[in-house]
């Protein structure tokens, strides 16, 4: 089954040594459809196509999932970048 997720841009404070804290999230108005069978690489490809610039490498991102949201962070620093929040 495919579900719709809204991409939220995250304002995170902190650093890779002390950790990060999300200060605020902002609606982008962008909806992506994610299937239950999509792998991490599929999710990242869909988000890259919908949100990120051409020069962003999906290899630099990591995905964390739960039942209601998908979080995307920098692999290098761990900084939270985006959250995909379930809308249907």
| pTM of the predicted structure, to 2 decimals | 0.83
pLDDT score for 55 = 63
> What are the structure tokens assigned to 21, written together?
């804290």
> What are the structure tokens assigned to 6, written together?
């809204």
> What are the structure tokens assigned to 57, written together?
């490498």
Task: Name the H helices within 3-82.
Answer: 40-50
User: Which 8-state DSSP code applies to residue 78?
Assistant: -
Q: Closest Cα to residue 26, out of 88, 72, 83?
A: 83
Report domain extents, the chain: 2-86
Integer Cα distance of 32 and 69 in angstroms: 12
pLDDT score for 8 = 94
pLDDT in tens, the chain (88 residues): 899 999 999 999 999 899 999 999 999 999 999 998 999 889 988 988 888 866 667 777 788 877 778 898 888 888 988 999 999 7
């Amino acid at each position: 089954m495919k579900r719709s997720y809204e991409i939220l841009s995250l304002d995170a404070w902190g650093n890779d040594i002390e950790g990060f804290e999300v200060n605020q999230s902002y609606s982008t108005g962008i909806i992506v459809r994610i299937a239950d069978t999509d792998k991490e690489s599929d999710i990242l490809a869909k988000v890259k196509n919908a949100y990120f610039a051409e020069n962003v490498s999906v290899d630099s991102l990591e995905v964390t999932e739960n039942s209601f949201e998908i979080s995307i962070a920098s692999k290098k620093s761990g900084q939270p970048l985006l959250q995909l929040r379930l809308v249907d």
